[in-house]
A and B are shown apart, each in its own frame.
Chain A
Amino acid sequence: MAPPKSSAATTKTATPAPAEAPKAAVNALESLWKAYYETTSSRLKLIDAFLVFLMVSGIIQFVYCVLVTNFPFNAFLAGFGSCVGQFVLTASLRSQVNPDNRNEFKDISPERAFADFALGSIVLHFFVYNFLG
Chain B
Amino acid sequence: MATKAYTLPSNISPETVANTSSLLRIVALALISAAAISSRLFAVVNFESIIHEFDPWFNYRATRLLASKGFYAFWNWFDPTAWYPLGRVVGGTVYPGLMATSGVIYNILHALHLPVDIRNICVLLAPGFSAFTAWSTYMFTKEMKDESAGLLAAAFIGIVPGYISRSVAGSYDNEAIAIFLLMFTFFCWIKALKTGSALFGTVAALFYFYMVAAWGGYAFITNMIPLHALTLMIMGRFSSRLYVAYTSWYAIGTLASMQVPFVGFQPIRTSEHMAALGVFGLLQIVAFAELVRSHVSSKQFRTLLYASVIGMGIVGALAIVGLTYKGWIAPWTGRFYSLWDTGYAKKYIPIIASVSEHQPTAWPSFFMDLHFLVFLFPAGVVMCFTKLRDEHIFVILYSVVASYFAGVMVRLMLTLTPVVCVAAAIAFSSLLDTYIDPSEPAPTAAEAIEDDSASQDVTKKVKKAAPPPPMGFMEFLSTLSGNTSRPRGIFGLNSRLVVLLNALGMLVFFVVHCTWVTANAYSSPSVVLASHNPDGSQHIIDDFREAYYWLRQNTPKDAVVMSWWDYGYQIAGMADRPTLVDNNTWNNTHIATVGKAMSSTEEVAYPILRKHDVDYVLVIFGGLLGYSGDDINKFLWMVRIAQGVWPDEIQEPNYFTKQGEYRIDDRASDTMKNSLMYKMSYYRFNELFGGQPAMDRVRGQQVPKAGPTLDYLDEAFTSENWIVRIYQVRKDDLLGRDLKVANAFEQGKKRKKTKPPVRRKALV
Contacts and interface: CB of A to CB of B under 8 A. Distances in A.
Interface of A: 1-3, 5, 8-9, 12-13, 15-17, 20, 24-25, 28, 31-32, 35-36, 39, 73-74, 77-78, 81, 84-85, 88-89, 91-93, 95-96, 98, 100-101, 104-105, 107-108, 112-113, 115-117, 119-120, 123-124, 127-128, 130-131
A100 B290 CA distance: 12
Nearest to B205: A123
Nearest to B239: A104
A116 B308 contact: no
Contacts of B243: 91-92, 95
B312 interface: yes
B251 A81 contact: yes
Nearest to B305: A12
B201 A77 contact: no
Nearest to A86: B251
24 contacts: A8-B288, A15-B315, A25-B304, A28-B296, A36-B295, A39-B295, A74-B265, A77-B258, A81-B251, A84-B251, A88-B248, A88-B251, A89-B248, A91-B247, A92-B198, A95-B244, A107-B195, A108-B196, A112-B197, A115-B199, A116-B198, A116-B202, A120-B248, A127-B259
Contacts of B265: 73-74, 77
A31 B255 CA distance: 39
Contact of A81 (B195, B255, B291, B304): B255
Dominant secondary structure of chain A at its interface with chain B: helix
Interface string B228-243: 0000000000011101
A61 to B, nearest CB: 14
A24 B300 CA distance: 9
A115 B199 CA distance: 8
Contacts of B195: 105, 107-108
A33 to B, nearest CB: 9
Interface of B: 195-199, 201-202, 205-206, 239-241, 243-244, 247-248, 250-252, 254-256, 258-259, 265, 268, 281, 284-285, 287-288, 291-292, 294-296, 298, 300-301, 304, 307-308, 311-312, 315
B322 to A, nearest CB: 14
Given A1-B281, A15-B315, 4 more contacts: A15-B311, A24-B300, A96-B198, A96-B240
Contacts of B291: 3
B304 A13 contact: yes
B199 A31 contact: no
A120 B255 contact: no
A127 to B, nearest CB: 5
B240 A105 contact: yes
Dominant secondary structure of chain B at its interface with chain A: helix
Contact of B199 (A12, A24, A116): A116
A131 B258 contact: yes
A119 B199 CA distance: 7
Given A104-B241, A120-B199, A123-B202, A131 B307 contact: no
Contacts of A77: 255, 258, 265, 268
Most chain-B CB neighbours within 10 Å: which of A3, A16, A28, A32? Answer: A16
Contacts of B241: 104-105
A130 B292 CA distance: 37
A77 B311 CA distance: 27
A17 B309 CA distance: 12
B248 A28 contact: no
A131 B255 contact: yes
Given A35-B295, A127-B256, A130-B259, A15 B251 contact: no
Nearest to B283: A88
B658 to A, nearest CB: 58
Contacts of A28: 296, 298, 300-301, 304
A101 to B, nearest CB: 5
B296 A31 contact: yes
A12 B199 CA distance: 32
Given A73-B265, A119-B202, A104 B240 contact: yes
A79 B331 CA distance: 26
6 closest Cβ contacts across the A-B interface?
A: A88-B247, A85-B251, A116-B198, A92-B244, A16-B307, A95-B240
Contact of A120 (B201, B281, B311): B201
B273 to A, nearest CB: 13
Contacts of A73: 265
B45 to A, nearest CB: 43
B96 to A, nearest CB: 15
